[in-house]
Amino acid sequence: MMEHRLIEKMLKAVEEEIARIGNGKKLDPVFIDSVVDFIMTYADRTHHGKEEDILFRDLEKKKMSARDDSMMRELIDEHKFARRIVGELVDAKKKYVNGDASALGIMIDRIKVLTGFYPEHIKKEDKVFFPDTEKYFSGPELEKMLDEFWSFDREMIHEKYKKFVQELEAI
């Protein structure tokens, strides 16, 4: 899945930046903002959003094996876990920007948690869950789902920037 490949590339770049910070480079809060934006918008809202709002919704209507149903619930829990870690990263970045130097360690730790989490999560989806659950859908059902995925993607940019403008207006 191309979304997974892009997430993996981002994680590699993030790991390299964290290594540079470990070698004495100062942390740039804008870097954290960029990482958070990518994870929240692309990895979570776009990628996980399609899984939860379309794929998992359609799987709920199918008679799945106990193993596949359990794996889907596990993936949903993992999505929630990633959201919580990103929230902690955002909170730590706010503290860091406001002068709390101890928040640097929290930010680095939260990033390391995410860079450790996502590869395993992706492997589980790519190698086990997606191949195993495709069997529940007919060819036309899979095509309809792909069309929904494309429509979901097209709407994401509008959703992101509509929210951005609303936040600006509220200031």
The answer to whether 146 and 54 have CB atoms below 8 angstroms apart is no
Residue extents of the structural domains in the chain: 2-170
| Residue 145, pLDDT score | 94
| Residue 136, pLDDT score | 97
| Mean pLDDT of each 10-residue bin along the chain, 171 residues long | 91 90 82 90 92 96 96 97 96 94 92 96 96 95 94 84 84 80
Inter-helix orientation angle 29-37/2-22, to 10°: 160
The answer to whether 85 and 114 have CB atoms below 8 angstroms apart is yes
pTM over 0.95: no
| Residue 165, pLDDT score | 86
Look-up of token digits 């191309």: 2
Q: Which fold has domain 2-170?
A: Four Helix Bundle (Hemerythrin (Met), subunit A) (1.20.120)
| Residue 28, pLDDT score | 84
Q: Using one digit for the tens of pLDDT, what is the confidence trace for 44-79?
A: 999 999 999 999 999 999 999 999 999 999 999 999
| Residue 141, pLDDT score | 96
Q: How many CA atoms lie within 13 A of 159 on its CB side?
A: 12
The answer to whether 49 and 152 have CB atoms below 8 angstroms apart is yes
Residue type, 93: K
Q: Rounded to whole angstroms, how far apart are CA atoms 19 and 29?
A: 16
